[in-house]
Amino acid sequence: MFALTAGSEDSRPNPKGNRLIIAIDGPSGAGKSTLAKRVAKELGFIYLDTGAMYRALAVKVLRQGIDLADDGRLGGLVDDTEIDLCERDGELAVLLDGEDVGAQIRTPEVSQMASKVSALKKVRARMLQLQRQMGQRGSVVAEGRDIGTVIFPQAEVKIYLDASPEERARRRYQELKAAGRQVDLQETLREIEERDKRDSERDIAPLCQAADALLVDSSSADAEQVALLVLDRIKNRTKINQ
Ligand code: DC
């Protein structure tokens, strides 16, 4: 069974006492994680990286060599897996059946598999349930693909963060290189475009901008400019810190 237990005692209402949800969606490499972490830290909210949950499941699928067309085995895997997100020393720990897989979830292979498993109905149904439970724990900043459209359509603030594929590929390439990996910029761009296509063309909860989301293009803005713009939007919308 999936379980997301950490943080259940970790209820962080905003200063006015009610829980707020900030939804940040967008394609890979747009800067969602940097933005979400920064905003969560600034406001003292729980940071919810929903992509990390799909990535953790992808690690298990790869380890067990499961064929995604094998509904029976995949269903069994979804039922028999515990995924847990918790904060450790100020960092997000991603627990797969109790093992911290945080260091293994960012490889290109896991990225592609996460994108594939995330298109499956059974996986999405379970993630939806878990992510909504996490939304009960306190005020959250949640990032993903379907946060403002499907998981928390009632979110007080919705941001759709985008950037050109070339710029997103360049950032991902630099990240991977800094982590000591052998990478090729053209290959990174091709992988990003492949993932964009799969994530936005799937039948269930495809990546798309919610009608009431603010579109922010980070192609030519630095992370701090984007964060300040979004914090301003949050303050105006929620009257938090006012
Ligand atoms: O945000 P990320 O790159 O870590 O996400 C990995 C994959 O998980 C991504 O290709 C699509 C999928 N995903 C999703 O379908 N829905 C989410 N809310 C978050 C991620």
Question: Tell me: the pLDDT tens digits for 89-117?
Answer: 888 899 999 999 999 999 989 999 999 99
Which ligand 1 atom sits closest to the C-alpha of 50? 19
Query: Does the CB atom of residue 25 touch ligand 1 within 6 A?
Result: no
CA 57 to ligand 1 centroid distance, Å: 11
- Identify the residue whose C-alpha is closest to ligand 1 atom 15: 118
Summarize pLDDT for 156-185 with one digit per residue, the tens. 999 999 999 999 999 999 988 998 989 999
Q: Please state the domain extents for the chain.
A: 21-231
Please name the fold of domain 21-231.
Rossmann fold (3.40.50)
The answer, yes or no, to whether residue 63 has pLDDT greater than 90, is: yes
Please state whether the predicted TM-score (pTM) of the whole model is above 0.85: yes
With beta carbons less than 8 A apart as the criterion, state whether 66 and 116 touch: no
Helix (H) or strand (E) holding 217: strand 214-217
195 close to ligand 1 (CB < 6 Angstrom):
yes
Q: To 10 degrees, the CA torsion angle through 70, 73, 79, 85?
A: -80
**d(C-alpha 26, C-alpha 213), whole Å:** 11
Task: Tell me which residue has its CA closest to atom 20 in ligand 1.
Answer: 51
Q: Which amino acid is present at 117?
A: V
Q: How far apart are CA 109 and CA 99, in angstroms?
A: 19
